[in-house]
Amino acid sequence: MNLFDELNIKYQVPIIYSDNQPAIRIASAKSAKGRTRHINVKYQFVRQLVKEDKIKIRYVSTENNIADLFTKALSDTRFSYLMEKINETLKNLRN
């Protein structure tokens, strides 16, 4: 149980979008296998949250990954495209 449940506040499970398919598979795996057993404990926290359905991780293509706007040097064209995507997302959230 968390604070929202205790206060009877309805909420949606947060969704993390990633273009890193191996990372998504590792985070969504039911158990550690092979080399993934040696992943640092702090990263296992994400796996636990996914397992408990407290967060969801979904794939987004690199082309549509708006996080790149904040993490990479981009061409003017790419920057404008991602800004349009952010504006669309914000409009959808307001409606």
Beta strands in the chain (DSSP E): 15-18, 56-59
Task: Please state the separation of Cα 69 from the chain's center in Å.
Answer: 15
Tens-digit pLDDT string for the chain (95 aa): 678 788 988 888 899 999 999 889 888 887 666 666 667 776 788 888 999 988 999 999 999 999 999 999 999 999 999 999 999 988 988 87
User: pTM of the prediction?
Assistant: 0.72
The predicted structure's pLDDT at residue 81: 94
21 and 59 Cβ atoms separated by less than 8 Å:
yes
- The predicted pLDDT at position 28 comes to 85
Whether the Cβ atoms of residue 26 and residue 47 lie closer than 8 Å to each other: yes
